[in-house]
Chains A and B, each alone.
Chain A
Amino acid sequence: MSETLALEAKALGRRYGSNWALSDCSLEIPAGSVTALVGPNGAGKTTLLQLAVGLIQPTTGTISVLGHGPRAEPLQVLPQVGFVAQDHPLPRRFTIGETLTLGRKLNPSWNNAIAETRIDELGLSRRQRICTLSGGQQAQVALTLALAKQPQLLLLDEPVASLDPLARREFLTGVVQAVTETGITVVLSSHIVADLERVCDRLIILANGRAQLVGPIEELLAGHRLLTGPRSDAASVARVHQVIRESHTERQTTLLVRANGHVYDSCWEMHEVDLEEIVLAYLGTTRGAARMEVPAGVAR
């Protein structure tokens, strides 16, 4: 890698009409990482990825990809970035072979051997038309197009959202295999947190146009705890730790905190949390609050 940061955003903002899809968003994505980009619809995930690839322009702030501005220097950035847009657009009337030719003609760094090997491994024939392929197969072809140009950075906008579980698994396998073979940096936006936990080592939670949480997944899992105890107010805990979410029943209070050091409090019972709960807490969903019952069975 020539840059240690694959992507850097500083106070990035993008407005549509009167609505700010992203506002004051600052984050860094180190090279070689596989980052999960998580957030509700309209949070700005697609906007962020489109800004990174130069499809749209920032309203405020800057974004730099592999050291260059995507809109200002497209010919420096585009050959190094593989992008699969939401619902993996492809030329529907083309055959797979013609789609590969498209990739070859439009990308000077195209490696046809990689493309053909992938297509063969997927069990697809070059003569099949794109419109006859299943959703999963189309997503795989789109991924092939993105990988065969040998990029340093791969940006995937909800690539598996509309796919069945098997197709999802196969797609993600393709992604991790690419990471294994080339050390490519990946940013992958998705709703489905469970998938991301296996594949990604970093997390960005985007909500309300801002980066709410950024960091290595392992650190985040180690740094967040669920505290349960008798009904009380969170003030004493909040003085030391960051309370992300609190919920109360008649007799019990449950807090999800980002621990600032160790948690010492005789009132509270402490449990680990999994990634999905952390994400839900930051996204502020009431669904998450309902789940904060007394945890079952063995301590995690």
Chain B
Amino acid sequence: MINFHLETRSGVPTYLQLVQQVRQAVRLGILRPGDQLPTVKEVVAQLTINPNTVLRAYRELDLEGLVEGRRGVGTFVASGQVPLPPDDLKALRSSLQRWLERGRAAGLDDDNLAALFSDTLRPPSISRVA
């Protein structure tokens, strides 16, 4: 079972945060195929958000094929989701750790490291329009 959390100041729409958290959980093996996602009622009670937001997130996940809704029962992680093999995950994690150590040794603080990472990951697309 996954526990959602909300970052109100992140600028990311709520439904998208839920989607991302489910994707992340599946990738990391926290949610496995057949696991049930929290019901709309549960998420609403936990996060105090509009139920439509939850419905939208689950619909999005359904369209992606990540989850499937079973009427009257709930929403479940679809089969065929293969999380990253734990060995690969381990290797990636340790190389990331080494990168972080190098960055810190170079004098970058956490904010700078995060900025560098997200900049490289997702170059700003809407900052400047030529």
Q: Tell me the A residues contacting B by CB distance below 8 Å.
A: 34, 169, 172-173, 176-177, 179-181, 194, 197-201, 218, 221, 263-266, 269-272, 274, 297-300
Contact = CB atoms under 8 A, between A and B. Distances in A.
Given A177-B41, A180-B41, A270-B126, A300 B47 contact: no
A298 B115 contact: yes
8 contacts: A34-B50, A173-B44, A177-B41, A181-B41, A194-B8, A269-B128, A270-B129, A299-B126
A197 B119 CA distance: 28
B126 A264 contact: no
B12 to A, nearest CB: 9
Interface of B: 6, 8-9, 11, 13-14, 40-41, 44-45, 47-53, 111, 115, 118-119, 124, 126-130
Contact of A198 (B14, B45, B127): B14
Nearest to B12: A300
A87 to B, nearest CB: 22
A34 B51 CA distance: 10
Contacts of B128: 269
Nearest to A32: B52
Given A218-B13, A263-B129, A198 B115 contact: no
Contacts, number: 64
A167 to B, nearest CB: 12
B48 A173 contact: yes
A266 B127 CA distance: 11
B48 A172 contact: yes
B13 A200 contact: no
B45 A272 contact: no
B48 A201 contact: no
A201 B14 CA distance: 11
A180 B44 contact: yes
Contact of A199 (B45, B50, B126): B50
A300 B45 CA distance: 28
Given A197-B8, A270-B126, A297 B115 contact: yes
B124 A299 contact: yes
B45 A173 contact: yes
Nearest to A173: B48
